Structure 1
Amino acid sequence: MFDKILIANRGEIALRILRACKELGISTVAVHSTADADAMHVRLADESVCIGPPPSKDSYLNIPALLAACEITGADAVHPGYGFLSENARFAEILSDHNLHFIGPKAEHIRLMGDKIEAKKTAKRLGIPVVPGSDGAVTPDQDAMVIAKKIGFPVLVKAAAGGGGRGMKVAHTEADLQLALTTAANEAKSAFGDASVYLEKYLQKPRHIEIQVLGDGRGGAIHLGERDCSLQRRHQKVWEEGPSPVLDAAARAKIGNTVGKAMQELKYIGVGTVEFLYEDGEFYFIEMNTRIQVEHPVTEMITGIDLVLEQIRIAAGGDLPTTQDAVVINGHSIECRVNAENPVSFRPSPGKILQYHPPGGLGVRIDSAVYQGYVIPPYYDSLVGKLIVHGKTRVECLMRLRRALDEMVVDGIETTLPLFRALVREPAIIDGDYHIHWLEQYLVGQKAD
């Protein structure tokens, strides 16, 4: 097992990693920018190191500063959390070159899945169903038009190195394609330094369903069921739940076993999430995230498996925590991402939290690093915390969520709590009858009212 882990992140995920380390008896090092000097994980860690000013490029993305922090503190492993350097293959290689353990997948798998075109080719080779589309990058010429016509409009133009909805445009007709290609390529170049784009069939009303996997790097891998992440705004997840309201046991087992076998063949190590669009009973691979996910608590609540703890254990050479046959999905869980944003315009609302009261009770969990008097800085994402609830059934889970949302108090800043209080009472949400475009359509209707 590792002696000391440096947590190369901030906010709630840094605190989440710190808690897992404490339960394993591992010493922790918190790194922070000057803006995060008063952060909760900094206060609770065994040691802390300031690695730079607020801009991420000068602190949390500053690899030399992180290496220096490891050397100063004697850390022998680094946990990247999510975001920042968590899916940076070069970072994993640099750590290895300095005899430091990267708590995550092999660099080759990070690089492979980070290239959306190669990831799709690999998925296809491993027997995972994929969305119909181009075999590789396309250029804004007749070649793209030929492929688009073959796929059938509407088509989705996507950045090969993309994520988070950047470099993604829909072309509903032939006339739309040229502009979509150019705009997506420009966005991709700006965001990722790579203008390559490819085409996929644009599905009309799909669900977004992801399969959680855990591999030991030696050919052993299991899946831990699915999460339904279909409530999204601008391709950003807002509400996640598991199991999905639209999958039965047979569909769950079929796609789960397909993904599990693929991870075994890949000899994947650590946690990962294979993401799909699901429409008319068919799954279509879209990407794989080679890191812990923001919504991982949903899986933890329904399986009883601590994903972050197991991620650390396996990185240190441990075995899988259980066999596939022993994985049991227990009840239902929902997570709401409470952000420091206006609930209508989604304008960021950084500032000081004057009052904070997290809800409690059976089956209620809060993953947050804020406290009364904490100042949410304007430099990073706007996540205040994640409210996760669990119930024996989806109905019980929804009622518990409604109660918890009504209890939660975050004053001094605007938050998205009012949005969730409305959503949990919407008939379509109660019935589980929604898709990836539902929330944006709902929000348009709310503004019209």
Structure 2
Amino acid sequence: MLRRVLVANRGEIACRIFRTCRELGIATAAVYSDADAQALHVREADTAVRLAGSAPGETYLRGDLLVRAALAAGADAVHPGYGFLSENAEFARAVLDAGLVWIGPPPAAIEAMAYKTDAKRIMRDAGLTLFDALDPEAVTAGDLPVLVKASAGGGGRGMRVVRELDALPGELKAASAEAESAFGDGRVFVEPYVERGRHVEVQILADGQGGVWTLGTRDCSLQRRHQKVVEEAPAPGLGEALEREMERAAVAAAKAIDYAGAGTVEFLVADGRAYFLEMNTRLQVEHPVTEAVFDIDLVAWQLRVAEGARLPEAPPAPSGRHAIEARLYAEDPARGWAPQAGVLHRFDVPLDGDGIRVDSGYAGGDEIGVHYDPMLAKVVAHGATRAEAARRLAGALERTRIHGPVTNRELLVRSLRHPEFLAGEVHTGFYDRHLDGLTARADDDGMDRCAALAAALADGQGRSRLGVGGWRNLPSALQTKSYRSEPDGAEFEVGYRITRDGIEGHPGVRLVGSEAGRTVLEVDGVRHEFHVVRHGGEERGRGPDRVFVDSSTRAWTFVALPRFADPVEQRAPGSLLAPMPGTVVRVADGLAAGDAVRAGTPLLWLEAMKMEHRIVAPVTGTLTALHAAPGRQVEVGTLLAVVEPDGVSVPGGTAADVSVPDGTAADAPNAATDAAPTDAQEDPV
């Protein structure tokens, strides 16, 4: 019987494992980097051990330190979570060699699936259908597009989509170099690329004593940067024959490597067939949707299997529910999915009834740092039908109060209500086709200006002097407040004066009441309630004040603009400013001041929140200054370079353009996007 489990991970997954341990009466131990000293998973554990440093390579990726921490904490078992060292056979062996229980599959099973080329050979011998690798020297124009993959890959490192034959040699070389840097193994291979496939997986659970369960399918096709954004169970529209075929293949895969514990067999579904992609020898990020459908706790079963329990002969029957999970990220989808950092002042998801579940590593007041993946939470909804689950999840996200950095919340709500998604027409190219529409500014129905007015009424001088609903007999100048909406940048100058007949400057609008951050406006006879909170930033060195306005169906973030602009540091025309905090990891070979550059030419690469972002020249011209060197830490707005356009005068400094990276971000076929992960914190797809 396990007494204390150390979770060799952080954030959301650590909190989730602790929850089950508490329910089973098992004590818990956390590890934390210096950046995570105040993190939620540290607060929730019974005890915690510090890992000196902040970078993953010196903390969560140090197997020796993790084993030492488990022994120091008095743990008798280690759960690796997902990402980091969860699929590292040497770490699993080190845990076992220290006399600890490893809550995961045998090291030999992990090793068998660690290299994609080896895994494909084993699965082919086990009878699974998969794509044939292509000889890079024999690829023809008729084979295009093709996908270059790192054999030891994960998280999309060492992965390239190639659409032009002349580009293949260079992409092979670049992918190999990136794979060598990321995994210490530069081997790559080439296979056909499917433009609009579906990413479908089967959850398995094995006891290592001959018992293997399959627990239905999951569809994980909605992806950005080849990383999953929305997942659901069961996968819609497969048909019973294909589902049974995939389940048989998953059992064969598990038995071929003597698997034990929870795992996932992943497939690409195209043209009515399921092709083996890879096997994840760990718990998946999206496991909650399977738990909702089967009324099962997969972590509890991981612990039981680790204690030597056998599985009952038959798995539990599905409940008939449909479950959908959305990953809520601190990122700006409209700006190349750029990760965001800062204080999460408030984070409240409405948990109405029993149909909503939230797994998170953050709470209100926590800091979203720059060292790790920017996922705030997984929000899961289930319902009697797929449509009911989608509606419930969209509604919960819409009513969630998030006061802090920009998130992908609006994108998730729109995705869940998109006609193609509701029709079950999901595929890995969904965001390639629809991102512009899903991130476009919402039609202005007048509510944006009403929200700005609500902010001004709750935030301005007029209310405090006049009182709620107050008015004067003598006319006076309009009260004026100015705001900039985030993240779209729209500006609002709100002028108002409260009178007995309404609000001057806003025909048809009447102030019903305003107190303690709650403002009620009547607009053309319809009441709208707004909750307004202002969070100061400048006094803490965190940027300007922001006003967060929430209604029952919408949310706005406004930057309060000063009446008179403060003097700002002058920038040379064409200045490129860092769009996010991060570290300069490399500069284009041979790049120096005085060089001619073309628009779109990569100048340097920033690493932030485990992603690598390529910064490109916004215009064709001359590089007149370069202020970046590998290893330099930069904040938002740091001057990186200056490009003087050919024959064009550019006023002031602008945020650097973030463009498509050299790599993509996972192992499911899809189109390249803006950034590639740089460590193993997140589920690779």
Tell me if both proteins adopt one fold, taking TM over 0.5 as the criterion: yes
Q: Secondary structure at the match of 1:238?
A: strand
TM-fit CA distance, 1:299 = 0.6
TM-fit CA distance, 1:113 = 0.6
TM-fit CA distance, 1:102 = 1.3
Say whether 1:189 aligns with 2:180: yes
Q: What does residue range 341-352 of structure 1 map to in structure 2 within 5 Å?
A: 341-345=331-335, 346-352=337-343
Aligned to 2:57: 57
Residue 156 (structure 2) aligned to one of 165, 175, 184: 165
Residue 394 (structure 2) aligned to one of 399, 402, 405: 402
Residues 19-64 of structure 1: CA deviation (Å, up to 9, x unaligned): 1111121111111112212222222222111121211122212223
Do 2:232 and 2:324's aligned partners in 1 also have CA atoms closer than 8 Å? Answer: yes
Aligned to 1:140: none
Do 1:230 and 1:237's aligned partners in 2 also have CA atoms closer than 8 Å? Answer: yes
Aligned to 1:127: 127
Amino acid aligned to 2:340: S
Do 2:141 and 2:164's aligned partners in 1 also have CA atoms closer than 8 Å? Answer: no
TM-fit CA distance, 1:66 = 1.6
Q: Secondary structure at the match of 2:333?
A: coil
TM-fit CA distance, 1:415 = 0.9
Aligned to 1:360: 351
Partners in 2 of 1:29 and 1:278 — Cα distance? Answer: 40
Say whether 1:19 aligns with 2:15: no
Aligned to 2:194: 203
Partners in 2 of 1:262 and 1:53 — Cα distance? Answer: 39
TM-fit CA distance, 1:196 = 0.6
Do 1:145 and 1:174's aligned partners in 2 also have CA atoms closer than 8 Å? Answer: no
Aligned to 1:139: none
Q: Secondary structure at the match of 1:227?
A: strand
TM-score of the superposition, structure 1-length normalised?
0.94
Partners in 2 of 1:208 and 1:441 — Cα distance? Answer: 17
> How many residues are matched?
439
| Moved segments of 4+, more than 3 Å | 444-449
Residue 415 (structure 2) aligned to one of 423, 434, 445: 423
Residues 409-432 of structure 1: CA deviation (Å, up to 9, x unaligned): 111211110111211221111111
Q: Secondary structure at the match of 2:334?
A: coil
TM-fit CA distance, 1:18 = 0.5
Q: Secondary structure at the match of 1:309?
A: helix
Residues 292-334 of structure 1: CA deviation (Å, up to 9, x unaligned): 111110111111111111111101111225614x432522111
Q: What does residue range 277-426 of structure 1 map to in structure 2 within 5 Å?
A: 277-320=268-311, 323-324=314-315, 326-328=316-318, 330-345=320-335, 346-361=337-352, 362-426=354-418
Partners in 2 of 1:375 and 1:321 — Cα distance? Answer: 44
Do 1:232 and 1:440's aligned partners in 2 also have CA atoms closer than 8 Å? Answer: no
Residues 125-154 of structure 1: CA deviation (Å, up to 9, x unaligned): 1111111224xxxxxxxx5222x3499332
Aligned to 2:255: 264
Q: Secondary structure at the match of 1:166?
A: coil
Which has the greater radius of gyration?
A: 2
Q: Secondary structure at the match of 2:70?
A: helix
Aligned to 1:104: 104
TM-fit CA distance, 1:386 = 0.3
Ranges in structure 1 where 5+ consecutive residues have no aligned partner? 135-142
Partners in 1 of 2:310 and 2:101 — Cα distance? Answer: 17
Q: Secondary structure at the match of 1:167?
A: coil
Change (3 A) 1:20 1:162: same
Q: Secondary structure at the match of 1:92?
A: helix
TM-score of the superposition, structure 2-length normalised?
0.62
Amino acid aligned to 2:101: H
Partners in 2 of 1:165 and 1:47 — Cα distance? Answer: 34
Change (3 A) 1:177 1:29: same
Ranges in structure 2 where 5+ consecutive residues have no aligned partner? 442-685
Partners in 2 of 1:447 and 1:313 — Cα distance? Answer: 44
